[in-house]
Amino acid sequence: MPLPKLDTRHAFFTGKGGVGKTSLSCATGLALAEAGKRVLIVSTDPASNLDEVLGVALNQSPTEVPDAPNLWALNIDPEASAHAYRERMVGPYRGILPDAAIRSMEEQFSGACTVEIAAFDEFSKLLGDPAATQEFDHVIFDTAPTGHTLRLLTLPSAWDEFISSSTGGASCLGPLAGLEKQKALYAASVERLSNPKETTVVLVSRPERASLREAERTRAELGDLGVSNLQLVINGVFVAKEPGDAIADAMTKRAVESLSDMPAGLVSLTGSTISFLPKGTVGLEALRAMADPDELPLPLEQSLPSIDSLPGGLKQYVDELAAVGHGVIMTMGKGGVGKTSVAAAIAFNLAERGFPVILSTTDPAAHVAAAAEEGMPGLTVTKIDPAHEVHEYTEEVLAKAGKSLDAAGLAMLEEDLRSPCTEEIAVFRAFARTVDEGKGGFVVLDTAPTGHTILLLDAAEAYHREVERTQGDMPDSVKELLPRLRDKGFTHVFVVTLPEATPVHEAERLQNDLRRAGIEPYAWVINQSLLASGTRNPILMERGAYELPYIETVSQRLSSRCALIPWMEQQPVGKNGLAALVR
């Protein structure tokens, strides 16, 4: 059976968005339930599609899954939990502080770190308290906490007076001030998570280099924290049964090359492989197919929609940008959706048209470097090293704030500065410098800041408290950039996604976040569509039909401006590969 073998009562599935951790956790839970075990599946993902996969409406109490005896599931709403924490922290100050200060405090507690710690609090009630799930043989958690959250919660100083008095700290610190009563429960949860006899952590990846790199990073981070019972699942491995179809052959080749170059740390793990399933993994029959794909063949769709009815390509929007002649272009989206490739393709195309273009990226991947190496006149590629930017920012903060802290306070601040929030702010400062350098042409930003970071940096009260805590400074380039990001005539945001459930749900959350920051996306880009690829491979054609509802959701409900990029035989590397994306 290709599904992971669970010898422990608890299991966590973790991986980048869209790798299939929800469907895999459901398939594993269903297999255990059909083997006679009583199983509870728990999701803490704000973009969870657990209801859709299992075919049942869920809430925060265990709900039995129809037609699946012994299987229950529940959805924790971390957004609601984070809202409760915000209110707990901010509520006492309402009517006392000015409205502007209240809004700033609320933004301090609106980041991803706050949501993740709020989710950790919720599933700690299930993981740390055995009585809460005593009627189940297995409890499976879809979406595990990051190493940053675990480190933060295991720091003794997270529970002392330092936190209680640091309400002006970064968003990832705030919730802990209101959770001191949870200390024993948190400690039990972290201990159980790292106990190999009680908990298995399953790393889920696609057979793609970027996804495997993320899995290796997670493996190393968890290993440093003493989490040793790890397994690896490679999900969605496609191997063409018969050669001859260009798309199918290219997909097979990419998977083989990625897996042959897998990081050594992952190779050493107990692993399993799940075959590519053309109809997705929604419904119990599809989940059973993950355990044995050959046992439940899925019928081929006989009629596919006309390609003429699909959204057009990216070129129409690049033409519009060229007519403007200058400004900032940002590609935004979750990891693995191809935003770096889209940014590079737009920059390359505009440079070909004779515009001066600066492409600023945090991704050192070859397809970006190749564009510059081919000597495109007018194109300048600047590579931002997140590790370097974080180091510089951290040194600056510690030099100014560290002198006044004791050992416990310094340890807490150092952990705060290792958070994803810190990296985003540090990289954002570097982006701001790049934009400030662009005069009279285009600046294309890959991996742009989230709406939360923009609001956080733009809140005068939040910045005032940050200065008090760190004695840091906000560069003029950052101050000048923020108003520009809200200028529709100057800044154009492309939201990049894939034609699948989780990436679309996550991109919708991103769009809502941007709108909260006063930024309206210019257009959406649906990347790597098999439906638009022209493949005649039966399995891939079936997958293309599966994409249609998600393409319609984006093009008809989420945005009236939508570009569709097909899955291409040629990878987006160099002049020809990037040019193919702008059609």
Element (H, E) at 349: helix 339-352
- Among 421, 451, 455, which Cα is nearest to 513's? 451
How many whole angstroms separate alpha carbon 504 and alpha carbon 334? 10
Tokens of 241: 């049964």
Q: Which two tokens stand for residue 63?
A: 């709900």
Residue 168 annotated in active site:
no
End-to-end CA distance of the chain: 43
Burial class (CB within 10 angstroms; exposed 0-12, middle 13-18, buried 19+) of 51? middle
375 classed as catalytic: no
Residues 6+ apart with CB under 8 A from 497: 333, 334, 337, 503, 504, 506, 507, 524, 525, 526, 527, 554
Q: Which of 14, 110, 258, 502 is catalytic?
A: 502
Contact 540, 533 (CB under 8 A): yes
419 catalytically annotated: no
- Provide the 10 A C-beta neighbour count for residue 57: 8
What burial letters (b/e) apply to 271-284, b meaning 16+ CB within 10 Å?
Answer: bbebbbbbbbbbbb
Q: What residues contact 98, with CB distance under 8 A and at least 6 apart?
A: none
Q: Which of 501, 39, 3 is nearest to 282 (CA)?
A: 501
45 is catalytic: yes
- Could you give the CA distance from residue 193 to residue 139 in angstroms, rounded to a whole number? 12
The token pair at 468 is 């008090």
Residue 20 a catalytic site member: yes
Would you put residue 375 in left (φ > 0), alpha (ψ -120 to 50) or beta?
left
Closest listed residue to residue 347, CA positions, set 334, 363, 336:
363
Q: 14, 16, 17, 20: which one is catalytic?
A: 20
Q: Which element (helix H / strand E) includes 528?
A: strand 523-529
Closest alpha carbon to 118 in 163, 201, 177: 177
Contacts of 284 (CB under 8 A, 6+ apart): 30, 54, 55, 65, 67, 68
Which is catalytic among the residues 21, 279, 334, 339?
A: 21
- For the chain, what is the radius of gyration of the CA atoms? 24
Catalytic residue selected from 15, 16, 17, 18: 18
Active-site annotation holder among 16, 25, 43, 45: 45
Q: Rounded to an integer, what distance in angstroms lies between the CA atom of residue 110 and that of residue 90?
A: 12
Using DSSP bridges, classify how beta strands 63-64 and 199-205 pair: parallel, antiparallel or unpaired. unpaired
Closest by Cα among 143, 97, 139 to 119 = 143
Catalytic residue among 14, 16, 22, 446: 22
451 is catalytic: no
**CA gap 490, 522 in Å, rounded:** 11
The catalytically annotated residue of 15, 16, 17, 23 is 23
Would you call 16 a catalytic residue per the annotation? no
Residues in the chain: 583
Catalytic residues: 18, 20-23, 45, 502
